Amino acid sequence: MAEINNDKIVPLPCAVEELITKICREQDRRPLETKTRSTLASLGEEVALNILRRISGQGIRKSFDSFVLHLAKQCSPNINASSSSPNMHSSLSPSPQQPQNRTNTRLLMNSQSAQSATPLKLEGSSTMDSQRQRGSESTTSQHLVALGELEFRKAFLILNYLGGKNLEEVLSSDQIRGYKNLPMREFESEIWDAFGFRRDYIKEEDRVKYLDWDSGKAHIYHCHVDPDGGYRFKGPYLSKQRNVLQRTLGDDSILMVKFEEVKDERYSVSSSLDNYFAKYNKVLREGIHVGLRCYRFFVFKDGGKEEQKKDPTTSPVKCFFVRMESVASIDNQDNILSGKTIRQARSVFMHVDNLSSLSNYMARFSLILSKTMNLEVDLSLVDIKTIADEPCRDKDGNAVYDTDGKPLIHTDGTGFISHDLALKCPKNQVKGTCLQASNIERLRVHNEVMEQNPECLYGDPPLLIQFRLFNNGRAVKGTFLVNKKLTHQTLHVRPSMIKVETDPKVSNTFSKNSLEIVGTSCRPKKTFLSKNLIALLSYGGVPEEFFMGILNNALEDAHGILSNKKAALRVALNYGDMDDNIVATMIGCGIPLEEPYLQRRLSILMKEEKKSLKGGKIPVSESYYLMGTADPTGLLESDEVCIILDCGQVSGEVLVYRNPGLHFGDIHILKATYVRELEGFVGNAKYAIFFPCKGPRSLADEMSGGDFDGDMFFVSRNPQLLENFKQTEPWTPSTSTPNVPNRKPSEFSDEELEVELFKLFLRNRFQPSFTVGVAADSWLAMMDRLLILGNDCTEEIACVKKNINLLIDLYYDALDAPKKGGRKIEVAEDLKAELFPHYMEKHGKKTYRSTSILGKIYDKVKAYEDMDLSSNDVWKHPCFDDEVHESYLVKWKGLYGQYRTEMRNALQAGKEKNDEANEVIKKYKETLYGAAEFNLSKRRDEEVFEEARALYHVTYNHAKMQGAVGKCGFAWRVAGLALCTLYVLKNQEERPMICSPSALKGIL
């Protein structure tokens, strides 16, 4: 193809560009010339698309350009094909009367060419006279060209800070180019100052305050879209993790897009899907323009309860657009998606067109958004074999089928990995993050040794590895069990693990190939009960005295936080993420628990402990959460399991349950059995529960429909639970899943597919199903009623149990609905609870005071919780109360005033407030230490100690004046390590020793 001249190219809507690219590729044609593109632009998007669809269907006999011009003249006989129409961009830019997007990037994108459109009147800007309009045409183009020469994150930050103004009103093209070589921190400061007169448009709390721009962290770019079609940018925000999408395309090729609710008074809160599509389909058709780039709708994912907990004010449904085209000089046409349709772009990751339904399409495609760590192996050298699943068989050896006619299997979601590959995986990984930094070093060193000597297999790998595998268009999801019997560089996957198969029709195109690690089987942490589990255990015969006994112990432990160093250290370590472990450090250095700030923080942690206890999160001994898999030996009987802990395999009865089980039979009593032959597979690897491959149904499936793709199982050897609990029959699906008529994705045209997927996103975003939550809440309310009813109420008990079983079926069906055609499941009105127990805290609903075990737990903790033991008495510890040089006091008094303003703004930053607050703390740590932390400082210790005490004096004086202990935090969050070191040196004449939080947790 001919090289495109970016200076003369006429931009067109993304849908038009995409169809042109498709025609050029499929019919081996040169790109359209400028005059032809101008003609298409003058006709408007819909007419241009109709012309191109006709050409795509008929084929080109001579010239692509002449064919377009011929059809264009038929559509508009008066058109002059040799020159662009005066209003050639009318279909590309909004009219002056239409609401403008606040950063006006659509205008920027559309005005890049030499034949630029007349500049539009912007929100908040004055009307320009015609002479000024004509004179600014080339100026606007030069601004865009200059913006396109900047590193993308710099260009994005400018668009973020524009505050609704035209780029040319704020900066000249020379000024933009002048920022090109500035370091990011200096660049951010410069443009913030340059835009400083527009604080009405961009608030202080929206300013990004990162100090570690070049730390290698992922950059997350946000775009907020309004119902009027306008959009504004926020960020970039920094993140420690990257997913497959980011690692493949690059951070700056991805926009996280948030669509706002329709606030038009003409529409109800439950506005129709058609209304939302009418509001937002223009964004689908035209894409989102960021400078000279165009981003298109690509993938979305519902983050569920976990995402909702992070920020209850926003939707858990996350939507991502990706860069498809760019004429910015910085991009250099290096985008691997260039020249592809959106459909072809998705096939880079997996061949989802083969799937059975649109809901399944996006449920599977969103695997690219999983939080993972890439395992750096060359998959072309790995032997990936597909092995059969182990079927469930009846007593006569015949295969067993479910109500839908599908064979039941014992090995759903689990395969094998060779010992050498498993060793490459870091231990203690959860959701793509290593829990210990030492594992990163272990991984690096090990890989270097392995490269030099592949036979040097030292140490023990993780026993189970939860993964995502993308290979030649195929997507595989599940767990790998380490298998020492496999030859080197080998993976075994099963059909149950393969979520997307390779499509032979596109198998010769480029595909992303990678092995992604989600998590590994880790040493079990302290284990807690839950509301659901307590209710089921209580109904199964476990006496209330058991629960109240362990609750009393937990409450005593919580109260001991304020006076008992061991209890305080344990809790401080458990909540170390809240304060970067500074409370644990203070305790470990011997600072008295009565110290005002320490006592305040311990009081807060005590409240967190009680809050958890009130919700049924009660610690239980001799219990563990373990990842599950299938027995590779085939020796376990149908009522047996094998459990590997620190000490190796354990024996005896165990109680096993899987969250979020609601059925009475979701709890099993099984026999833990020693299996010597298993050691030949896993060696000394640890921490998992193995389920048998015998019997008519998988035990995991009997526990709320579980499988082995990473599910965690509650396992207890607690003698009181085992002695009192009476097992009942397991849950079985009551009916077959009705077939929902679905068109396969492959049956849709490119345009139809995008429209249907976008509507699916809008439905998930604006009309989410609440069936799971409603069913779970109603179940708990009815379960509470069942626990309260006496034995004499047989008729009511039977009625309540019937409704509970119906709710359980609805709950489990709703959980699986997205993967089974997306059928709609609703809770009937007569099944919805009308009264809720008080411990559920259903404000605005009718409630009653429950006397069940859950109600008693709540009341007991609430009585303790209402006892306010905190004090606002601020006093200085003698160790830090020496005189300090006046210049340091003046310095830190000024800095402390700045800090309070900056922290106040950071804490108003919504979901990203923790990141923003941490950046503020980092700034002042660097001021004190001249480095990120005390142990990295090159300043003299005496000088640091002097300033740390000055900081301490300033902070505590302010806190005392305000009568608020909480305001002492600045001293410890910034100078904590220096103050702790100073305390140890002055009181114990020794330096503190280094000990990792995880090691201390293990000791305690």
CA dihedral 474→475→477→480, nearest 10 degrees, is 40
The Cβ of residue 938 has, within 10 Å, a number of other Cβ atoms equal to 7
119 φ/ψ angles, rounded to the nearest 5 degrees: -55, 140
pLDDT of residue 751: 94
Residue 353 lies in a domain: yes
pLDDT at 298 over 50: yes
Q: What is the pLDDT of residues 834-875, one digit of tens each?
A: 999 999 999 889 999 999 999 999 999 998 876 656 677 899
pLDDT at 182 over 90: yes
Check whether residue 386 and residue 360 sit in a common domain: no
For 21-26, the CB contacts below 8 A with 24+ separation are: 21/339, 21/340, 21/341, 22/56, 22/341, 22/750, 23/52, 23/55, 23/56, 23/60, 23/64, 24/64, 25/339, 26/56
pLDDT at 822 over 70: no
pLDDT of residue 313: 59
Q: Select the more confidently predicted residue: 570 or 1001.
A: 570
Given 149, 168, 198, the domain boundary residue is 198
Average pLDDT, the chain: 84
Confidence tier at 991 by pLDDT (50, 70, 90) = low
Check whether residue 132 and residue 44 sit in a common domain: no
Check whether residue 422 and residue 365 sit in a common domain: no
pLDDT at 999 over 70: no
Check whether residue 440 and residue 516 sit in a common domain: yes
Q: Select the more confidently predicted residue: 128 or 956.
A: 956
Where is average pLDDT lowest: 51-65, 397-411, 627-641, 750-764?
51-65
Tell me the C-alpha distance between 418 and 423, whole Å: 9
Q: Select the more confidently predicted residue: 42 or 975.
A: 975
233 φ/ψ angles, rounded to the nearest 5 degrees: -110, 150
pLDDT at 344 over 90: yes
Check whether residue 348 and residue 428 sit in a common domain: no
pLDDT of residue 5: 43
Confidence tier at 537 by pLDDT (50, 70, 90) = very high
Could you give the percent of the chain with pLDDT greater than 90? 53
User: Rounded to 5, what percent of the chain is helix, strand, coil?
Assistant: 45, 15, 40
Check whether residue 262 and residue 386 sit in a common domain: no
Task: State the residue range of the domain holding 20.
Answer: 1-92
Q: What is the pLDDT of residues 540-562, one digit of tens each?
A: 999 999 999 999 999 988 888 88
Residue range 921-933: mean pLDDT, rounded? 91
User: For the chain, what is the radius of gyration of the CA atoms?
Assistant: 32
Check whether residue 364 and residue 251 sit in a common domain: yes
- CA dihedral sign, ordered 578, 581, 587, 592: negative
- Going by C-alpha positions, the residue among 466, 808, 452, 819 that lies closest to residue 660 is 808
Where is average pLDDT lowest: 9-18, 99-108, 608-617, 758-767?
99-108
pLDDT of residue 184: 93
Confidence tier at 79 by pLDDT (50, 70, 90) = low
Q: Select the more confidently predicted residue: 911 or 27.
A: 27
Tell me the C-alpha distance between 179 and 26, whole Å: 42
Residue range 751-776: mean pLDDT, rounded? 93
pLDDT of residue 103: 36
Q: What is the pLDDT of residues 483-502, one digit of tens each?
A: 999 999 999 999 999 999 99
Residue 861 lies in a domain: no
Where is average pLDDT lowest: 5-14, 168-177, 328-337, 943-952?
5-14
Confidence tier at 420 by pLDDT (50, 70, 90) = very high
Check whether residue 271 and residue 381 sit in a common domain: no
The SS3 assignment for 546 reads helix
Tell me the C-alpha distance between 28 and 36, whole Å: 18
pLDDT at 183 over 50: yes
Confidence tier at 132 by pLDDT (50, 70, 90) = very low
Q: What is the pLDDT of residues 879-904, one digit of tens each?
A: 998 888 999 999 999 999 999 988 88
Residue located via tokens 């498709």: 22
The SS3 assignment for 630 reads strand
pLDDT of residue 200: 60
Check whether residue 426 and residue 493 sit in a common domain: yes
Number of domains comprising the chain: 5
Residue 974 lies in a domain: yes
Residue 466 lies in a domain: yes
Q: Select the more confidently predicted residue: 55 or 128.
A: 55
pLDDT at 430 over 90: no
Contacting residues for 600 by C-beta, under 8 A, at least 6 apart: 870, 965, 966, 968
Q: What is the pLDDT of residues 431-479, one digit of tens each?
A: 655 544 334 333 443 444 344 444 334 478 999 999 999 999 999 999 9
pLDDT at 259 over 90: yes
Q: Select the more confidently predicted residue: 309 or 571.
A: 571
Given 198, 214, 240, the domain boundary residue is 198
Residue 710 lies in a domain: no
Residue 821 lies in a domain: no
Q: Select the more confidently predicted residue: 1003 or 293.
A: 293
Where is average pLDDT lowest: 341-350, 440-449, 644-653, 897-906?
440-449
Residue 226 lies in a domain: yes
Q: What is the pLDDT of residues 193-208, one digit of tens each?
A: 887 655 566 777 778 8
pLDDT of residue 80: 54
pLDDT of residue 308: 60
pLDDT of residue 192: 87
Q: Select the more confidently predicted residue: 927 or 209.
A: 927
Could you give the percent of the chain with pLDDT greater than 70? 83
CB 455 within 8 A of CB 497: no
Tell me the C-alpha distance between 522 and 626, whole Å: 8
Confidence tier at 988 by pLDDT (50, 70, 90) = confident
Residue range 788-810: mean pLDDT, rounded? 90
Check whether residue 158 and residue 129 sit in a common domain: yes
pLDDT of residue 736: 59
Residue 520 lies in a domain: yes
Residue range 172-191: mean pLDDT, rounded? 91
Check whether residue 53 and residue 166 sit in a common domain: no
Check whether residue 628 and residue 498 sit in a common domain: yes
CB 714 within 8 A of CB 623: yes
DSSP state of 88: T
Question: How is residue 915 written in tokens?
Answer: 């990141």
Q: Residue 197 burial by CB count (10 A; 0-12/13-18/19+): exposed, middle or buried?
A: exposed
Model pTM?
A: 0.81
Residue range 601-624: mean pLDDT, rounded? 92
